[in-house]
């Protein structure tokens, strides 16, 4: 570990010193710091260090991405710098109080992230159905249209049930009890009751005046339309988690299995229908009305602001605070004209990236930028932001300017989002008014994307030029040590290559996924390595080649291997699965073991990982890809363990 002593010291110094560190943990690639003040960290200096891949600030953590050597660097920091290790393996828990905004963003993102994939897919199907109907390709009176409508609408109609599940995981409540509360909100007979006899009105003369169709124990029930709603179920599960916790403390152990759910549902469903649901609905309507009201004062300024700042919101997770407003507006008013002013930002970003692709001669940058451009077409811009434009600040600012122009144009053209669905080009059909089949919004959306793209490209193309390569910067008072590190890099780069061409076998059986589609910007941007990902259907990882286990995380969720031919590879099972603390993982090798191709390395429980709310998608990357002429991945949709998957060409 002595070779990492200086790197450890430099990292600690540039995160603000030992006194600025609350705790430290690591996963398979990253040092995860909890800092007292992230402003004290010298992020740009850290990014420039030899031995540091990049820096990511997310979820209240200051993450220094190291790569395969992270375990050794972590041990050296603990040993030589006196840093306190975090309890457990994730460094997500500490005694420092969270800011209210941080808590809100963390809560909303934690609830929506697990459902976003199906949410977007359902929206895309709704958009496709609207598109086919608008162009009279399918008849709205026939069965094909009706079945397509069922496919697209089902998830949205029963959204309270799905959000009940994810909210329960966030608030630590029984998932099925929470889903039962969600089901009560969309119970089929409630809409029928709302169309029936009105007993009397309450809150007469106020903005909350409501008809009463039935009573519960003599108390009026204010029925609302909860299909597709968001806020009522989230608030109900939050309250329900407290109620369930209370009953867990008073119900005898022998009766807990059925007694706690019995009392929880008996309490929460009436409470939700009587109080929580109406209050949450009114609150959501008020927030949506306020946002729309501000927008109506000056649509142009609102569009400029949201369009310019959206990518910044995404970087800091603040966009999660606006997503519920978007959905609430669609549910309440039938369309959202406000938050959708962010639409042009995606295209401004990829316009800048394309300009860089065409101008740069840096093959490593091209290798990052081309997949980032392709993923950006479909609305996934994190690889472009983190891998291409943000490290070159001027070009990130240009993309924000393009986004501002796009936002203003959305407002001026009156583009509205009628369906919460796909991103990027898949969002075009979401601008079709399903009530009238008016496609003008879709055409205007295309104009917005073209203009935002053109602005980004036109501003970036004449300004971009490759920077002259510079030696790695190491922030240290000891210039001799810094010089030694720089000398070591030069010697390594000039030494004769020891690697050989190699065909790596697939370590997994499953469906192939482009690395750019992995829901983690460090993997998807390619900064950690080139390769591919697999959505596994069998919970077994086998050795892709003969070699040595160089890294094996204690939780078993990731393994690093150096092959006999010199390839350094990383297999990371799922995303954020370090937080499972080894539950569902069983290792069959140890660090330092020699392995043969096809040998079983790790078994993992796919169902348990998914039930815990984590993606099971598994990146398989060559981390020393810069030493190869090209990293070529296999074509196709599926792969079997042991099939040829990656060719590392020299």
Residues 6+ apart with CB under 8 A from 224: 232, 277, 278, 281
Q: What is the DSSP letter of 438?
A: B
Q: Which of 462, 456, 463 is CA-nearest to residue 346? A: 456
Residue 598, classified by CB atoms within 10 Å of its CB into exposed (0-12), middle (13-18) or buried (19+), is middle
Same domain, 51 and 170: no
Q: What is the DSSP letter of 531?
A: E
- Residue 498 has phi, psi (to 5 degrees) of -110, 5
Q: What are the C-alpha distances in Å from 76 to residues 7, 483, 540?
A: 9, 21, 32
Query: Which of 27, 309, 400, 430 is flagged as catalytic?
Result: 27
Structure tokens at 1: 């570990």
**What is the model's pLDDT at position 489?**
32
Q: Does residue 383 contact residue 524 with C-beta atoms inside 8 Å? A: yes
Same domain, 363 and 232: no
Q: In angstroms, rounded to a whole number, what is the distance separating the alpha carbons of residues 410 and 105?
A: 26
Same domain, 450 and 529: no
Same domain, 263 and 317: no
Reduced to 3 states, what is the DSSP secondary structure of residue 644? strand
Q: Does residue 534 contact residue 639 with C-beta atoms inside 8 Å? A: yes
Beta bridge partners of 219: 216
Among residues 58, 76, 96, the one where a domain terminates is 96
Cα four-point dihedral sign 351, 357, 362, 366: positive
Same domain, 448 and 506: no
Same domain, 523 and 554: yes
Reduced to 3 states, what is the DSSP secondary structure of residue 350? helix
- Residue 619 has phi, psi (to 5 degrees) of -70, 145
> Whose structure tokens read 């030069």?
490
Q: Give domain status of residue 395, yes or no.
A: yes
Among residues 70, 96, 122, the one where a domain terminates is 96
Q: Give domain status of residue 379, yes or no.
A: yes
Report the Cα 339 to chain-centroid distance in Å: 19
Q: Give domain status of residue 70, yes or no.
A: yes
Kindly give the interhelix angle for 231-250 and 159-171, rounded to the nearest 10 degrees. Answer: 50
**What is the model's pLDDT at position 511?**
92
Per residue, the 3-state secondary structure of 6-62, as one string, reads HHHHHHHHHCCCHHHEEEEEECCCEEEEEECCHHHCCHHHHHHCCCCCEEEEECCEE
Q: Give domain status of residue 396, yes or no.
A: yes
Residues 6+ apart with CB under 8 A from 75: 1
Same domain, 437 and 377: yes
Structure tokens at 586: 């069983």
Q: Give domain status of residue 122, yes or no.
A: no
Q: Does residue 561 contact residue 548 with C-beta atoms inside 8 Å? A: yes
Structural domains counted in the chain? 4
Same domain, 532 and 632: yes
Cα torsion 354, 355, 356, 359 to 10°: value is 120
Residues 6+ apart with CB under 8 A from 563: 502, 504, 544, 545, 546, 547, 569
Residue 535, classified by CB atoms within 10 Å of its CB into exposed (0-12), middle (13-18) or buried (19+), is middle
Same domain, 558 and 626: yes
End-to-end Cα, the chain, rounded Å? 30
Q: In angstroms, rounded to a whole number, what is the distance separating the alpha carbons of residues 471 and 243?
A: 59
Mean pLDDT per block of 10 residues along the chain (650 residues) reads: 79 89 77 86 83 74 77 83 56 47 66 74 80 85 91 88 91 93 92 85 80 89 83 92 93 88 95 90 73 81 89 67 78 86 92 94 81 80 76 89 94 90 83 88 94 96 77 36 31 48 92 87 79 94 93 86 91 88 90 92 93 91 85 86 88
Among residues 405, 428, 460, the one where a domain terminates is 460
Query: Which of 26, 213, 557, 572 is flagged as catalytic?
Result: 572
Structure tokens at 629: 């002429």
> Whose structure tokens read 């106020």?
206
Q: Does residue 523 contact residue 533 with C-beta atoms inside 8 Å? A: yes
CATH number, residue 81: 3.30.1360.60
Q: How many helices (H) and strands (E) does the chain have?
A: 22, 22
Q: Does residue 546 contact residue 563 with C-beta atoms inside 8 Å? A: yes
Catalytic residue status for 27: yes
Q: Does residue 519 contact residue 575 with C-beta atoms inside 8 Å? A: yes
Q: Give domain status of residue 477, yes or no.
A: no
Structure tokens at 388: 């291409």
Q: Give domain status of residue 102, yes or no.
A: no
Pairing mode, strands 61-65 and 54-58: antiparallel
Q: In angstroms, rounded to a whole number, what is the distance separating the alpha carbons of residues 354 and 458?
A: 10
Q: What is the DSSP letter of 336?
A: B
Q: In angstroms, rounded to a whole number, what is the distance separating the alpha carbons of residues 93 and 23?
A: 9
> For residue 432, what are the domain limits?
298-460
Same domain, 267 and 323: no
> Whose structure tokens read 């609302």?
224
Same domain, 243 and 302: no
Residues 6+ apart with CB under 8 A from 137: none
Q: In angstroms, rounded to a whole number, what is the distance separating the alpha carbons of residues 486 and 482?
A: 6
Q: What is the pTM (predicted TM-score) of this model?
A: 0.50
CATH number, residue 572: 2.70.70.10
Q: Give domain status of residue 442, yes or no.
A: yes
Q: In angstroms, rounded to a whole number, what is the distance separating the alpha carbons of residues 32 and 42?
A: 15
Same domain, 178 and 243: yes
> Residue 341 half-sphere exposure, CB side, CA atoms within 13 Å?
31
């Amino acid at each position: 570990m002595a070779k990492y002593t200086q790197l450890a010291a430099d990292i600690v110094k540039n995160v603000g010193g030992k006194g600025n560190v609350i705790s430290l943990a690591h996963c398979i690639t990253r040092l995860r710091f909890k800092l007292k003040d992230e402003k004290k960290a010298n992020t740009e200096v850290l990014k420039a260090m030899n031995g540091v891949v990049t820096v990511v600030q997310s979820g209240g953590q200051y993450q220094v991405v190291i790569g395969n050597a992270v375990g050794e660097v972590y041990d050296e920091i603990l040993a030589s710098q006196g840093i306190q290790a975090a309890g457990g393996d994730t460094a997500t828990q500490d005694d420092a109080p969270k800011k209210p905004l941080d808590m809100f963003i963390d809560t909303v993102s934690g609830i929506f992230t697990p459902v976003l994939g199906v949410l977007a897919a359902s929206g895309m199907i709704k958009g496709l159905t609207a598109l086919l109907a608008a162009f009279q390709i399918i008849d709205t009176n026939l069965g094909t249209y009706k079945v397509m409508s069922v496919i697209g609408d089902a998830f949205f109609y029963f959204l309270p049930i799905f959000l009940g599940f994810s909210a329960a995981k966030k608030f630590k409540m029984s998932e099925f009890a929470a889903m039962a509360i969600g089901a009560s909100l969309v119970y089929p007979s409630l809409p029928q009751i709302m169309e029936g006899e009105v007993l009397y009105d309450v809150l007469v003369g106020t903005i909350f005046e409501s008809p009463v169709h039935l009573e519960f124990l003599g108390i009026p029930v204010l029925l609302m339309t909860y299909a597709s709603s968001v806020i009522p179920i989230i608030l109900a599960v939050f309250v329900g988690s407290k109620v369930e916790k209370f009953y867990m403390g008073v119900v005898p152990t022998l009766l807990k299995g059925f007694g706690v759910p019995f009392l929880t549902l008996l309490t929460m469903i009436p409470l939700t229908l009587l109080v929580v649901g109406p209050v949450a609905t009114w609150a959501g309507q008020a927030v949506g009305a306020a946002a729309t009201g501000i927008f109506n004062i000056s649509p142009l300024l609102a569009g400029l602001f949201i369009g310019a700042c959206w990518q910044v919101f995404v970087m800091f997770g603040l966009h999660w605070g606006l997503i519920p407003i978007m959905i609430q507006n669609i549910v309440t008013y039938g369309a959202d004209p406000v938050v959708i002013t962010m639409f042009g930002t995606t295209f401004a970003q990829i316009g800048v990236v394309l300009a860089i692709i065409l101008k740069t001669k840096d093959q490593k940058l091209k290798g990052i930028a081309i997949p980032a451009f392709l993923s950006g077409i479909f609305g996934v811009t994190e690889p472009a932001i983190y891998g291409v434009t943000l490290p070159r600040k001027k070009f990130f600012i240009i993309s924000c300017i393009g986004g501002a122009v796009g936002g203003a144009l959305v407002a001026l053209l009156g583009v509205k989002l009628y369906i919460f669905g796909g991103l990027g080009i898949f969002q075009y059909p979401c601008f079709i008014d399903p009530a009238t089949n008016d496609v003008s919004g879709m055409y205007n959306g295309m104009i917005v994307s073209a203009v935002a793209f053109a602005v980004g490209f036109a501003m970036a193309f004449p300004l971009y030029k490759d920077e002259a390569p510079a030696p790695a910067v190491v922030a240290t008072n000891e210039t001799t040590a810094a010089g030694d590190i720089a000398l070591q890099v030069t010697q390594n780069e000039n030494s004769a290559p020891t690697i050989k061409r190699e065909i790596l076998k697939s370590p997994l059986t499953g469906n192939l996924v482009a690395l750019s589609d992995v829901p983690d910007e460090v993997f998807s941007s390619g900064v950690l390595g080139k390769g591919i990902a697999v959505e596994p259907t069998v919970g077994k990882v086998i050795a892709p080649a003969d070699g040595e286990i160089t890294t094996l995380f204690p939780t078993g969720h990731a393994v690093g291997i150096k092959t006999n031919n010199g390839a350094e590879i990383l297999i990371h099972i799922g995303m954020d699965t370090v937080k499972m603390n080894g539950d569902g993982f069983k290792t069959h090798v140890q660090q330092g073991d020699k392995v043969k191709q096809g040998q079983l390395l790790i078994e993992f429980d796919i169902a348990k990982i998914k039930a815990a709310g984590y993606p099971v998608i598994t990146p398989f990357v060559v981390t020393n890809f810069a030493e190869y002429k090209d990293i070529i991945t296999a074509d196709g949709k599926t792969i079997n363990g042991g099939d040829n998957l990656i060719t590392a060409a020299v």
